[in-house]
Structures are given as C-alpha cells and as structure tokens.
C-alpha cells in the first residue's frame, strides 16, 4: 500500500514492537492509512477508526475498500462512542498535545490498553499530563517528516505518577543518540532560547530555561 510517511511509519514500527493487538483504536484517523496498514500487516486483528466528522470516515472507508480490509468506522469525539470495544491498543496521532491529553482524560484509565501518541505540538504538555496522571511512558521514538522533527510516545496506565524535571518535559526521559533526536533537540533549544529572551526582557526567572538550553545543546 502507499507510504505512511515518516510520522505514521514510526508509529507503525512501534506498534509492531508490541504486536499483536486484538483490537486497535485509531482516533482521528483521517484517511485511515494506519488502521488499514495494521490489519494488512497482521499487527491487529481488528482496527476501529473514529473521527468527529463524517468526511474523514468516508475517506477511510475508500482506503479500506481499495486495500481489501474491513476496519470498523465510528463517528465519535475521541473514545466517546467506542464503549462497546475492548481495546488493547490505541493510537492518537496528528493532534496537539493538549487535545490528546483531553481525549485521554475523558477516556479514563485503562491499564490493559497501550497508547501510541504522536503530538504535532505541545509534547511537553502531554508528557506532563501523562506523568502526573498515573501513566508510564515506556519509550519515545523520534523522526522527521518534511524536515520537521516529531516524537512518538508509547505509554500505559499504571496508577503511579512519575517524577520529572523541567528539561524532561521538553526532551523526554529517552534521549537516543540519533540524527532524528538531535533535530528534535535543536527545535527544543530554539524554543527555549526564545522563552529565555522573553523572560530576560521582562525581568522573569530564567533558571529553568538556562538549564534546558544546557541540556539541549
């Protein structure tokens, strides 16, 4: 089938690490490429694509028909209309970190469901939510697509909060020595410099940003 692109391919490779899945949710699935891929590759026996709008679901149905697989499609805001499914995996990709956190807050804790999360923005807010609400981040992987760096998080609910530092929020606690992570780190460094300079201009405390600049060099 067509290429998933680097972002979704990284998610798919992470899914393969934890496969097989009985039932995998793809929240906000757009064209359902990931939902179709995991069924064609035997990563999941069933995938369920949800979206808040009918248009993406229709595009997903066309994708599924083209590649000869039969995911379920449900009109739903996050997991709201998916109560009848017993997921052991769920993907939420291509959204802001704050929105992903809100979807997980409404979904509630499900210890038997591994989460695969790919935020486009605010990865620090998402990490903060996970660590402060009983989720363990099992691993993070990094990639680039169209020269922009992204991170992918695998997490599971354990009920235990995780201690973290300010720089952990922005860099994570998994920091591989790879070109993709160094690209991600450079983006974090540039953003920290802007925040630091803003604080200097207003007389604010720059200690956290100075520390982050050191760790993201």
Predicted confidence (pLDDT) per residue in 68-108, tens digit: 999 999 999 999 999 999 999 999 999 999 999 999 999 99
Residues ≥6 apart with Cβ < 8 Å to 74 = 48, 49, 50, 57, 81, 82
107 and 171 together in one domain: no
195 and 170 together in one domain: yes
Whole-number pLDDT of residue 30: 84
113 and 9 together in one domain: yes
156 and 170 together in one domain: no
Domain that holds residue 87: 5-162
202 and 120 together in one domain: no
Element spanning 91, H or E: strand 89-96
Retrieve residue 169's tokens: 């929020």
91 and 169 together in one domain: no
User: In the chain, which stretches have pLDDT less than 70?
Assistant: 1-2
What is the pairing mode between strands 135-145 and 148-157?
antiparallel
Q: Is 13 helix (H, G, I), strand (E, B) or coil?
A: helix
Q: Measure the CA–CA gap between 213 and 153, rounded to whole angstroms.
A: 23
90 and 126 together in one domain: yes
Last residue of a domain, one of 127, 147, 162: 162
User: What's the total number of domains in the chain?
Assistant: 2
Whether pTM exceeds 0.95: yes
| Residue closest to 193 by CA, chosen among 175, 211, 174 | 211
105 and 177 together in one domain: no
Share the mean pLDDT of the chain.
97
Whole-number pLDDT of residue 49: 96
156 and 194 together in one domain: no
202 and 118 together in one domain: no
Whole-number pLDDT of residue 3: 79
Whole-number pLDDT of residue 187: 98
């Amino acid at each position: 089938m067509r290429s998933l692109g680097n972002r979704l391919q990284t998610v798919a490779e992470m899914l393969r690490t934890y496969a097989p899945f009985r039932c995998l949710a793809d929240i906000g699935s757009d064209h359902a490429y990931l939902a179709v891929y995991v069924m064609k590759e035997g990563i999941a026996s069933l995938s369920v694509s949800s979206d808040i709008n009918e248009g993406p679901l229709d595009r997903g149905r066309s994708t599924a028909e083209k590649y000869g697989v039969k995911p379920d499609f449900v009109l739903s805001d996050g997991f709201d209309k998916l109560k009848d499914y017993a997921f052991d995996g769920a993907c939420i990709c291509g959204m802001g970190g704050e929105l992903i956190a809100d979807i997980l807050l409404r979904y509630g804790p499900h210890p038997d469901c591994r989460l695969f999360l790919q935020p486009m923005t605010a990865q620090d807010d998402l990490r903060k939510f996970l660590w402060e609400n009983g989720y363990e981040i099992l691993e993070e992987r990094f990639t680039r697509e169209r020269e922009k760096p992204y991170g992918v998080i695998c997490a599971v609910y354990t009920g235990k909060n995780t201690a973290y530092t300010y720089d952990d929020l922005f860099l994570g606690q998994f920091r591989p020595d790879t070109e993709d992570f160094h690209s991600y780190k450079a983006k974090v460094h540039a953003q920290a410099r802007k925040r630091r300079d803003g604080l200097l201009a207003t007389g604010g405390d720059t200690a956290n940003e100075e520390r982050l600049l050191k760790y993201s060099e």
